[in-house]
Chain A
Amino acid sequence: MPVVVNQLENAIVRMMDDLERALQKPPSERRWGMVIDLTKCVACDACTVSCKAENKTPPGVNYTVVIKEEVGTYPNVRSTFLPRPCMHCENPPCVDVCPVSATWKSEEGIVVIDYDVCIGCRYCVTACPYGARTFDFGEFYTEGTPMIAPYETAPTFEYGEERTRTEGESPIGNVRKCNFCVQRLHEGLLPACINDCIGRARYFGDLNDPDSLVSELLRERYSFKLKEDLGTDPKVFYLS
């Protein structure tokens, strides 16, 4: 039997090459999508924390989580792990309910929020069937301790804007959600959760590119989407 491991390709390098190719195209010709291999998710929450660190999200604001459930009865019992970012639906229910048009589906397929327009009404939080949106109440993890830690007041680059969470200013008081780390995508970098995944369960790329790793995985493996019956047409796919 051959030494199979030597045939491994570096998934990060491959996906970044895919990304570079996609960025050559006009935005409207790309379709960003995420593929999550549930057989490889180890429920470590490296994605959860990578997202937190990248976006400096405060308590209660989680762009991606891993839902862990126990199924069965001893000794026939299993655990299931389901990472859940924003689904970036093709038909996003959250968009239509926004009274001020602060959220929309971008040309390249990302459901974005304009913090400067968002009034924090949270209709979208309720409308999202996946629980992917959370509200920034302005809390800090290190409140009530001897100091607010500098990692909480360091700037973020969400949507390409440098912002420091400061009371009375966005994104405090806004609804927040996963945006596929658009600030990184446009630099040719992958969403942070993809890089840090220790089980190599998360993949990202251009669904319109048949040569991308995500397209290849969707061709070769069985995949499904969450709550497909709702017609939201998510752009996050699960392999099982």
Chain B
Amino acid sequence: MSTNEKENGKSIINSEISRRDFIKTSAVVGGSMVVAANVNTAFNKIREFGELSNGVEASGSYPLNDAENIIYSVCLQCHTGCTIKGKIMDGVLVKIDGNPYSPMNMLPHLSYDTPPTKAAKYDAKLCPKGQAGVNSEYDPYRITKVLKRAGKRGENKWEVISFDQAINEIVNGGTFADGTKTPGLKDIRAVTDPDLMAALKTDAMAVAGGDMTLDEFKSKHADHLDLLIDPDHPDLGPKNNQFVVQNGRIEHGRKEFSKRWLKDAFGSINWYEHTTICEQSHHIATIQVTNQYKGDGGWGGGKEQLKPDYANAEMVIFFGTGAFEANFGPTPMSELVTWSLTYRNMKMAVVDPRLSKTAAKAKWWLPVKPGADAALALAMGRWIIENERYDAKYLVNANKAAAAADNETSWTNSTWLVKIENGKPTRLLRPAEAGLGDVDGFVVSQNGSLVVVDPNDADNAVEGDLFAEGTVNGISYKTSFQLYKEETMMHSMEEWSDICGIPLRKIEEVSNEFTSHGKRVGVDFYRGPVQHTNGYYSGTAIVMLNVLVGASGWTGGVGAGGGHWHEDGSKAGQPFPIGKAMHPGKVGSFGVTLTREKWHYEKSTLFKRDGYPAKRPWFPYTGNVYQEIIPSAASGYPYPIQALYLHKGTPAFAAPGGNPVLEAIADPNVIPLVFADDIVIGETTMYCDYLFPDTAIWERWGTPHITPAIQSKTSKFRQPIVDPLVEKVTVFGQEQPISMEAVFLAIAEKMGLPGYGKNGFGDGMDFNNRQDYFLRMAANLAFGDKEDGSDAVPEADDEELRVFREARRHLPKAIFDEERWKSVIGDESLWRRVVFLLNRGGRYEDFSKAYKNEKLGHPYSGLFNVFVDNVAAGFHSLTGEHFHGLPNYQPAQDASGKDLPEGGNDYPFQLFTFKHIYGGQSRTVSNYWAQLGVASENYVLMNKVDSDKLGLKEGDLVKLVSPSNPDGVWKLPNNEVKPVVGKVKPIQGIRPGTVAASWSFGHWAYGASDVTIDGQVVKGDPRRATGVCPNAVMYEDPVLKNASLSDPIGGSASYFDTPVNVVRA
């Protein structure tokens, strides 16, 4: 920040401060001006300073900790979504702290029955980014009205139009200044009849499955073939699927709201969120390893994440993440870890090529080679097996009853037998194959004789041999654990050490420490090891370390967290079953997803046409393959699309290798209609045809789920703290702020989509605005999970009702209308319970329920799959080869399964990125207190030995170049070319041979550059353009050409497999 005296040209005494130029522009940008004007007149009472210095006590004039000025809600500056306490002065959100009722913010948290007037005094912890939410809310670059493109896509020339005009043009088609025309959604929504949708779905699936011929299908549906994307491939679904909704940071609540609208009412299958550009392979690896056997070859119910119980662990290992910066997330996790480090002598190892803030506190910093985390995990596995440091007593348990006999809540398939065919492990051996009768289940060896195991049998304990191999009925077999051992033996310890770049001595030390504390240890991982093409396999190799010591379920071990109450009404007795029912006229949807996700290629008619290799990868085991959405549309595979809606995301900026995405989205021939919501004109949303202002986090509703780092049951509830700055419009006869919800509702009204408006939820239950949806969710949470209502929260008393009303006195009727809200809930008692919940921003189980002595209060109960049969059953859609059922190490590969070439002399450094604590995704550059105030810019970090070799000094400008982007540029169509240039910062705390840049800088939009609205230029803020975003140089897949590299199983986009060079700019 420039606070330079000379610059300001002022006297050193005090008063000659040059006049501030308070620019006022159109009402479009900077809607919060109106609010600002009110603030200055709000406070009159001045207390004399002398009173304080004389020691006279003040009283009552500090308003920020009065319950009447506080609304509890939920942050979303990052995905952790911490519970927050919003402090309001004259309608302005002036400070955000943590919510003392919540385990995320206080250790231990206040009792749930604490009156709000008392809790108001307790401010709880919150990270700097969460606190800087104030800056995001009142970002001067927020848009408040609807914008329509006035130039070419990306030119950043806009006109303000009415909300109704925008909705009309999106539904019926629009015309633009440059002569382009956009199609209307009414022409894309081909199938509108639920019965027809169901009939087409049944028969299309029969065609894909080989149970119906195409001719039979065509003759049966002759009248409706024009409604399909391709009558020759009915499994691609109806034309409705050519409308795609692509979400970035969307969470529970809005997620279900949005899916109900697109998939159930509009009738398109193509709804996506962004998880593959975050950490999806972490989820998929954990889900597959924890999938339960459902019988008849089916698997399901796996957990997305397991986390150590940091508060009680004696040793934890972080792979590619930490506790203090990103992860899930710093506010709840930091204190658990620091307390254990300081007062319990917990040991910590951090695997990260960068000396993160967590690594700075760790006993071991293991600066792994990016992408070689699996090699390290397998080396540890080898050491643990060779030194017999695994928990054999735990691992021999083959089913639930055996586990229970050992006071364990989990068991593994270590002892189950796997078939070996052509020298390769293929699938789990089934009883019939082993001549053990025609029963469901699997087979274990007991001292060499084979017996059947039912994994879920709670009565008959079955143990098995951990190591066994043999032949039965001509089928060779080995145990899962034997095969895992063989994977760890694929390389010597020295070779593993060489591959992962960690000295052998350190691997041994960490392995020894990890296996020296019984079950009070755990491994955590997140994005680092999995945003690679080998992400899934690396993830399973890491989870396996938790399995080896049997840490699951134990206090100080690992667990899936305390969970949450069910907001969707899915529990018997809950008042509003909004998740499954309550949708009259639901149309539904079907078809191959644009990204070919959750779909086996071999079960499609395109496989019958093309065989191997598929034109683009199919992803049978994952969803939300974000980086494939726009590139797939661009290549028209499996089909072209007509319209795209972007919500709270920036695929061009945030996904790796964004240039082809920019090229595609800028071209109306590729995607004829692009519309979006955003709170600021962003890097990708600047390429849309229509841009709607969205409500900001602190103005909206949501029911995000709790991080597994919290061991007690918790349901967070987001609600508006302040009046949204966006324009209000009328939809279904009700005034409401423009928002994602209002856009969907207005389109539903215009198109007559089923399940909206009068009786939209069923008789007597209208669906006219967002509150109609979210208040019912609140009611479900307040009611609880028990059918008899015994799990309900208390009723708010009259004093609590008073506080509730007072705290919302600044909200207009469109945002808070007590009588209307009450009528949505319907019942006085339930309404008072809802108020009790809203007065606390959610519901929180007591801290004492987190633990039951040596066991977690909510332990993970179930099976761990050492051999993942479900994945071993599937095929790589380009090579046609089976996936591997065991953890293993693979180098980075392209879409065709070919190893990528090393960078060599041309590209000698490996690039990676990380998140500092001030940066959320792409939206925290407006945070003048935190990201800009504290960090101000980012750097190209490299080890000093490398910068010395290149003759670079701190502050030198350098460009990053890579094999797929040798010029090192962002090519912004219809705009500029932005070089991938940043300032070098030589440091010691980074692995030599790597370069890194933190995420969240390097903007070209989001207030960083000028935009023209109604002919008036709104100047960008150069402070928001600082630093570098290296994503453009990340590998574009050499086979696909127009997309990043991806993990074919977990679906994660590869961010960290790119060799680069650093050249002087």
- Contact between chains at B55 and A108 (CB < 8 Å): yes
Q: Quick one: which of A3, A115, A150, A168 contacts B36, CB cutoff 8 A?
A: A150
Q: Is the CB of B107 within 8 A of A137?
A: no
Known: A140-B20, A148-B22. A16 touches B338 (CB 8 A): no
Residues 757-777 (chain B) with a chain A CB within 8 angstroms: none
Residues in B whose Cβ lies below 8 Å from that of A45: 128, 917-918, 930, 934
A149 to B494 Cα, complex, angstroms: 58
Given the complex, which residues of A lie within 8 Å of B18, measured CB to CB? 138
CA distance A146 to B929 in the complex (A): 18
In the complex the two chains form, is B92's CB within 8 Å of A150's CB? yes
- B122 touching A44 by the CB < 8 A rule? no
- A137 x B5 contact (CB < 8 A): yes
Confirm or deny: B525 has a beta carbon within 8 angstroms of a beta carbon on chain A.
no
Would B17 and A150 count as touching, CB distance under 8 A?
A: no
Tell me the A138-194 residues at the B interface (CB within 8 Å): 138-151, 153-155, 157, 159-162, 164, 167-168, 170, 172-174, 182-184, 186-190, 192
Given known A-B contacts A49-B929, A53-B94, A141-B928, A199 and B335 have beta carbons under 8 A apart: yes
Of A70-78, A83-91, A203-211, A222-230, the one touching chain B: A70-78
Q: Total interface residues on A, using CB and 8 Å?
A: 103
Tell me if A's interface is mostly helix, strand, loop or mixed: loop
Does A37 have its Cβ within 8 Å of any Cβ on chain B? yes
Query: CB distance A154 to B92 under 8 Å?
Result: yes
**Residue B30 is within 8 A (CB to CB) of chain A in the complex:** yes
Stretch at the interface among B57-65, B288-296, B820-828: B57-65
Known: A10-B107, A42-B361, A49-B131. A192 touches B55 (CB 8 A): no
Nearest chain B CB to A211 CB, angstrom units: 20
Residues of chain B from 117 to 132 with CB closer than 8 A to chain A in the complex: 121-128, 131-132
Residues of A contacting B987 with CB < 8 Å? 70
Contacts of A40 in B (CB 8 A): 335, 338-339, 341-342
Contact between B55 and A149 (Cβ–Cβ < 8 Å)? no
Interface assignment of B10: CB less than 8 Å from any CB of chain A? yes
Report chain A residues within 8 Å CB of B128.
44-46, 48-50
B17→A137 contact, CB < 8 A: yes
Q: Which residues of the other chain, A, contact B988 by a CB distance below 8 angstroms?
A: 70, 72-74, 77
Instruction: State the Cβ distance, A2 to closest chain B Cβ, in Å.
Output: 9
Known contacts: A137-B17, A195-B124. The answer to whether A162 contacts B47 by CB under 8 A is yes
Q: A27-B55, A164-B40 are known contacts. Are A145 and B324 too (CB-CB below 8 A)?
A: no
Give A142 Cβ to nearest chain B Cβ, in Å. 5
Query: A-facing mask of B920-945, CB < 8 A → 1, else 0?
Result: 00000000111011100000000111
CB of B180 closer than 8 Å to a CB of A = no
Of B21, B22, B140, B929, the contact of A53 (CB 8 Å cutoff): B929
A-B contact pairs, 22 of them (CB 8 A): A5-B311, A8-B339, A12-B122, A13-B110, A40-B335, A42-B334, A42-B361, A49-B930, A60-B1, A75-B367, A77-B989, A143-B21, A150-B32, A150-B36, A153-B39, A157-B62, A161-B46, A167-B19, A168-B15, A182-B52, A196-B131, A199-B324
A-B complex: 6 closest residue pairs judged by Cβ atoms = A173-B14, A60-B3, A59-B1, A27-B55, A141-B928, A120-B14
B-side interface residues toward A, CB under 8 Å? 1-3, 5, 8, 10, 12-15, 17-25, 29-30, 32-33, 35-36, 39-40, 42-49, 51-53, 55, 57-59, 61-62, 64-65, 89, 92-98, 100, 106-108, 110, 121-128, 131-132, 134-135, 138-141, 311-312, 323-325, 330-331, 334-335, 338-339, 341-344, 355, 357-358, 360-361, 365, 367, 520, 555, 848, 850-851, 853-854, 917-918, 928-930, 932-934, 943-945, 987-992, 1007, 1018-1019, 1021
User: Which residues of A line the B interface, CB within 8 A?
Assistant: 1, 3-6, 8, 10-13, 16, 23, 26-28, 37, 39-40, 42-46, 48-50, 52-54, 59-61, 70, 72-75, 77-81, 104, 106-108, 112, 114-116, 118-122, 134-135, 137-151, 153-155, 157, 159-162, 164, 167-168, 170, 172-174, 182-184, 186-190, 192, 195-201
> What 7 new A-B contacts, CB under 8 Å, besides A8-B107, A106-B52?
A45-B934, A46-B127, A74-B991, A80-B360, A149-B139, A154-B92, A198-B125
